[in-house]
A and B are shown apart, each in its own frame.
Chain A
Amino acid sequence: MTKPKKIAIIIVAGLFVYLSLYTWNLRTGHLDALSSYTGLDISGVVLRPGIWVSDKVSEFWHRYIYLVGLKQQNDALRDEASNLRRTNMLMQARAASASRFERLLGFEPPKHWTFSGMRVIGHRMGPAGALATLTVDKGTASGVAADMPVASLGGVVGRILRTGAGASTVLLLTDPNSSIAVMGAQNRSPGMLAGQGYGKPLMLRYINQNAVIDPDEILLSSGLSGIYPKGLPVARVTKIQRSDISLFLTVQAEPLVDMAGLEEVLLLRRAPGQPDQADTPPASTEDAGAAAQ
């Protein structure tokens, strides 16, 4: 056999093996699971001690040495706390009456969700980190599963993309592959919020030309996709444009959370006894696609 023939056979055989492995993995997910339970977990183990040391040094510096502006910050926080207490007092009364009305009208009680904290140990990592993601320090050993919603105190952050035993990857709201079914907080106009990449505005799709939506309106998760609970703040409307050639408004929004500055996030999971996420049908084909990915 001549040398060029040998090389051609080796290339074809290599390509065949590669594509066979790729399609087998797409069907079964075994190789993805193997890399998550080894590579993702090993990187978590490598990163955690350094992050712990960095946190401790930063905490020591800010708590005991760098105390500039502490009194002013304390006063501002006291004011904010008293304002929040006052608002909370009014809201409690309204929430109690809303529950009463729901019972009277025969509404089902809202789904219960529990929150647990996770520490961010990295953002997008490695040469294959093509999507906008976060790496967090909890995995399947702590009950984390794919597609669980992740939020911060400011609003929705994204959802779990893949899990290892002790670390997981979160797909951020700002990634172009992320879509969330939302509605306006005041006008309740429904739409689909999609990311366009880090540093770019979010795009609110499928808002009818005659729908009511205001600039600065907060967008809440509508709960229709079956992934996110209803009512979580997701984004704020920044720009609304009417088009002569489209059936829909062009609406831009900004996330409520600074993704780059996140240090801790909250994992949301349904309380035991609640139906699975899969029980709720996806709101649309796009949302179903996002859930499948």
Chain B
Amino acid sequence: MPLPNNVLAILWWAAYTVIGVWAHRTLPGIDFFAPGLILSLQEQSGGRTALLALVWMLLAEGTGSLPFGYGLAWYGLLAVMFFSGRWLFEARSFLFMCLIGLGLGLLHPALTLGLSSLAQLKVSLERLVLEGAMQTAAFPLVWLAADNLFPKRLRQDARPL
């Protein structure tokens, strides 16, 4: 008997989150949940995406070392980038994903520097720029992998945004 769509969605996103946490441990400074958020915005209902964003925001904030604010701004601005870019680009195009990756690559050093200066913390700019470059490269690739692995059945169970 096949799994109900809701159960399959929970299992799929739970597995994605577990892999994401291990990826965060392996490659610090790079967000592997961001491509998942975009995939969720493309394929699922807004409520489910908001719940995922909340969980991932708490994970990013909890494992991070900056005062609260990075995750909220990071995922908030990611959603803004996606919705504003949809006016110009096809929402599922790889080029659009590369541009969002570039935006995140620029956002990461700017956001970290801004928040660390507010909290009077010293951070290395060189490392942040390198992480931004890695984020730019990783984002479209992770999105592509997640998009290919996302169950076909779940693509139809909710109206895309």
Interface residues in chain A, defined as those with a beta carbon under 8 Å from any beta carbon in chain B: 14, 18, 21-22, 25-26, 31-32, 34-43, 46-47, 50, 122-131, 133, 135, 161-162, 164, 169, 171, 176-177, 197, 289, 293
Contacts and interface: CB of A to CB of B under 8 A. Distances in A.
Contact of B22 (A35, A37, A47, A127): A47
A134 to B, nearest CB: 11
Nearest to A133: B65
Given A18-B73, A22-B67, A43-B21, A126 B123 contact: no
B10 interface: no
Contact of A135 (B63, B68, B70): B63
A127 B18 CA distance: 16
B122 A177 contact: yes
B63 A197 contact: no
A103 to B, nearest CB: 44
B64 A126 contact: yes
Q: How many residues of B sit at the interface, in one of the four size bands?
A: 35 or more
A25 B72 contact: no
B63 A129 contact: yes
Contact of B61 (A18, A47, A128, A135): A128
15 contacts: A22-B69, A26-B119, A31-B68, A38-B62, A39-B58, A42-B55, A43-B59, A124-B29, A126-B64, A128-B61, A128-B64, A129-B28, A129-B29, A197-B124, A293-B121
Contact of B123 (A34, A47, A131): A131
Interface in B5-48: 17-18, 21-22, 24-25, 28-31
Given A125-B25, A128-B64, A293-B121, 15 more contacts: A26-B119, A32-B68, A34-B68, A35-B62, A127-B30, A128-B61, A128-B112, A129-B64, A130-B123, A130-B128, A131-B123, A164-B62, A169-B63, A176-B123, A177-B121
Contacts of B64: 125-130
Nearest to A289: B120
Contacts of B131: 127
A130 B66 contact: yes
A50 B131 CA distance: 25
Nearest to A178: B122
B121 A130 contact: yes
Given A18-B72, A171-B65, A126 B112 contact: no
